[in-house]
Structure formats: structure tokens, C-alpha cells
Chain A
Amino acid sequence: MPTIQTIDINAWYGTKQALKNISLEIEEHSITAFIGPSGCGKSTFIRIFNRMNDYIEGFKMEGQVLIDRQDINAKEVRVEELRQRVGIVFQKPNPFPKSIFENVAYGLRIQGINDKKVLSEVVEKSLMRAALWDEVKDDLNHPALSLSGGQQQRLCIARTLAVEPKIILMDEPASALDPISTSKIEDLATELKENYTIIIVTHNMQQAARISDKTAFFYMGEMIEYDKTTDLFTNPRHERTENYITGRFG
């Protein structure tokens, strides 16, 4: 059963159309990769799943996004609750200018949970799952901004995990990182798949091929091809996809 389904998504920035008629289904506990040349609409599309585009002036969309069969744009949906279920990790690590502990605890604090014991447990568990605990367990009160870029990004993942989302959106989470940090993030995504549904935007073909179950190729606002990752990479059905994954443009 698909947990995510989009039906005929069209989206505009002002008068400029950024997404055209996109319909797809995403299975539970899978990793789906979005690939495509710069400006093709990957970020716009991934941000639709937790309505991060809501605050962008001039943004407009049509179509339906169903998560667990519920229309997330329906009036009765509280966007804050939606974002607790659908977490997001951005391209550039963006920890809060607070301590490591407070970064991870933030999601709970804004839900009104301030019990020190509960917070400590969640912080430890989340940092462990994000493979960061061993590196920071003695420095939880240090400022998050004193961590390295790779550590900051894993902290951002830990922060997202702390509120127990079901779906995690990652918009090029490793593009600003070195190879070692990148492979850590990839391992992490693969592990998290057990319990979460993950959508990841990437410019790195090998990365998409390595970690994802399904891949969607976007081009100028359209979804050209969406298939099992192995099929899409070994046997693309469209010329555009083939040109892109073999590096002939993009």
C-alpha cells in the first residue's frame, strides 16, 4: 500500500510553472531518489510533502497530495502536525545557534514537552540513531555551530528523528559534505529505511543507485520517468533519462 500519493500536481512561482502534472506513488519503508538537472523542480516537489512552500510569496499549487490517504492540503490539517509526521533535512546544514542538546530537544519543546528526563532520553536515542552520539556525548552543552559540517548535518537528522516522523525528506543532504561524511549519511539513510519512508534529492547518480529503491527523473518541471532504481539505471525507457544518467547533459 502506498503511504504517499500525488495526483496531478501543478505548481507555479508567480506565473512561472515549476511542476507539471506529476502523479506518483511511494511505498512505505522505502528510499525514493529524485534526480534531474538543476532547476527542474526537485526541491519544489519534495517541499510539497510537508508544505514548506506555504510561506513562499507567489507560490501556488493544484492537485492532491495524499499521505496515508489523507489530503494534506485539506482545511482540517494542521500544518505543524503534518511537519512532525513529515520531517525535512536541508541541503545546507542549518542547526539552531543553540547547544547540541537544545537542537535535538527543540521539536519536543515546541510540543510543550519539557521534562528533563524525557528530553535526555530522546536526545540520546536520536543522536545514536543519527550515528553522532559517540562523537558528542560529552559535549552536549557545546554550541551546535562548533561541530564540523558533516556532524552538523547528522545533528540536523537527529533533530528531525527526535519527533518520530514517519517520512523524512532530504534535499541534497550530502552535497556540502566530504566523501566520508557523505558515506555516513548514506549508511544512515539505508538504516533508517527500516522504520521510515525516505525521499532524497540528489545530484549524485552513484548515490541514487546505491541507496534508493525507486528513482524519479525530472526534467523542466515534468517527471519523465519513475521506476525501480535498478531498472531506471540499467534500462532507461526515455532518451532524456539515458542522456542524463550517462552524463551527456545536466
Chain B
Amino acid sequence: MNSIRKNRITDTLFNYLGIASTMFGLIMLAIFITNILIDGIARIDWQFLTSLPSRKPERAGILTAWTGTAWILGLTAVFAIPLGVAAGIYLEEYGKKNKLGTIIEINITNLAGVPSIIYGLLGLEIFVRILHFGASLMAGAFTLALLILPIIIVATREAIRAVPSSLREASFGMGATKWQTIWHQVLPAASGGILTGIILSLSRAVGETAPLIVIGALAYVPFVAKTPLDEFTVLPMQIFNWTSRPQHGFIINAAAAIIILLVLTFIMNGIAIYLRNRWQKRVKW
């Protein structure tokens, strides 16, 4: 058998293998989503969205959970975005490209892969115990901000690196300072990439449960959080709690809440993909 034929057979084989694995993933996802939809879609109504938790499944709702998720999303964004983008700008534009810089870069990339429960332990020690935030929104948001910080930093650096140097030179050549060049040229040109990273990281934060359980957030919170120092729950924790109940009604509730959570993350990822496509088109000048 000659090598060209052998290569062609390998090619075809991998082709089918690839299609099979892709289909497997897609079919599993389809089955999962259909199941959830059948179970939960009928349960979603105004009452479900506006009710507090209850011992009776038909009276229970996700008001505390979705408001908690909204709070967490907002606070995490407020803490993580300025910090992450600023760190990315510093490391890319001002930080020295020496050994220390390389070590920092490798460490940040590694941090992005640390299991989220470890961040939970860090948050428990620092925010809950040392800073006495208790199991509050503040503690949760700070913990999740730490969790997504590496993702935002890496995305910011990559987006900045992709800005063509001719643009910087043009700005410097006009007599702009380094900061003016970053502010007026580099950041606008990199904004699509930075925004994509931010949204993807926030969509990850929305789905996190483990670190919040570790810092002591409760699944049962009978009131809507009014200040950042209030106790809270979030959608994934509410789902987790309901799925562990014996009554069938709660399983339905969990399915309905999963639909809400899925829609939320799909929307966020959709925006991120849209921005990325638009940005890729613009970057080729």
C-alpha cells in the first residue's frame, strides 16, 4: 500500500471520527435541552419569577435567586472589569518584558485554570473572615471577581497585542503621549476583544456554584437582597437545592430555573460572539 493511499484512508477515518464526536456532543446537548424544556417550560410564568422560596413547590419562585444573580453579576463586573482591564493594560504596555514579566504571564494563565472551589476557600478566608463581610453579596462578588480576573487580564492583553503597531506609531508621531495613545487609539481598537473577554468571563461567573457554597451562601434566603452586605442566593444554588428535594414539583421548578439560567448564558455568549465577529472584521485595515 503506498503512502498517499494510506494517508487518504487516515484522512477519511479522522473525518468520520470528527463528525461522530461532534454529533455525539450535539445530540447529548439536544436531548438534555429537550428534556429540560418538556419538564420546565410550562412552569415559567409571572408567579414563578416574582415569588419567594416556599415549602410548597407550586408557590415557590425564583425571585430571590434571579435578583441575587443580577446583584452578583453587577457587583462582580464592577470589581473585576476595571481591575482586570487596568492590569492587562499595565502588563502589556508598561510592564517590562523581562523574566519577572514572563513568570507573571505564566502564572496568570495558570490561575485561569485553577478549580473554582479553591477561589471559594480564598474568598472564605479573606472576605468572609478577615474582612468580616460575612456570607454577603460583597464576599460572593469579590470571590467571583478574583475567579474571572485572569480571564479578563488575558483577553485584554491579547486584544491590545492585536492592535497594529502602525496605529501606535501614527499617534506617537503626532506628539501624543503614551497614555493618550493608549486611550484614544489602542483601547478603542482593542475594545471588541476586551468586551468579548469580559462577557465570556461574566457568563462563567453566573454559572458558578461551588465557590459561593464554600463562602457560606445559603440556598434558602427568604428575602430579596437590598444592599451589597445582605445574604443572598443565586440561580445555580437554587437549582441545586431544588434538585435535592424529594417532591416532584421541585424537580419541575429546577427545570424551569435551568431554562432561565441557560437563556441568560446563551444571550451573554451570543453577544460575545457577535462582538468578536464584528471586531475581527474591523481589525483588518
- Which residues of chain A have a CB within 8 Å of any CB of chain B? 50, 52, 55, 57, 80-84, 87-88, 90, 92, 94-97, 106-107, 109-111, 145, 156, 159-160, 163
Contacts and interface: CB of A to CB of B under 8 A. Distances in A.
A163 B189 CA distance: 24
Given A83-B174, A97-B189, A163-B175, A110 B169 contact: no
B178 to A, nearest CB: 9
B180 A110 contact: yes
Given A92-B166, A96-B167, A97-B189, A83 B173 contact: yes
Contacts, number: 61
A8 to B, nearest CB: 26
B93 to A, nearest CB: 11
A47 to B, nearest CB: 9
Contacts of A52: 169, 172-173
Contact of B166 (A50, A57, A90, A160): A90
Contacts of B177: 80, 110
B175 A55 contact: no
Contacts of A83: 172-175
B241 interface: no
Q: Which of A83, A88, A94 has the most CB of B within 10 A?
A: A94
Contacts of B285: 97, 145
A159 B168 CA distance: 15
Interface string B132-172: 00000000000000000000000000000000001111111
Given A97-B282, A97-B285, A110 B166 contact: no
A95 B172 contact: no
> Would you call the interface of chain A mostly helix, strand, loop, or mixed?
helix
A107 B174 contact: yes
B97 interface: yes
A52 B166 CA distance: 12
Nearest to B282: A97
Interface string B81-103: 00000000000000001000000
B172 A107 contact: no
24 contacts: A52-B173, A55-B168, A57-B97, A80-B176, A83-B175, A87-B173, A88-B173, A90-B169, A92-B166, A94-B166, A95-B170, A96-B170, A96-B171, A96-B185, A97-B188, A97-B285, A106-B171, A106-B176, A106-B184, A110-B175, A110-B180, A159-B174, A160-B173, A160-B174
B267 to A, nearest CB: 28
Q: Which are the 9 A-B pairs with shortest beta-carbon distances?
A: A84-B175, A83-B175, A94-B166, A88-B173, A94-B170, A107-B174, A80-B175, A110-B176, A110-B180
B220 to A, nearest CB: 52
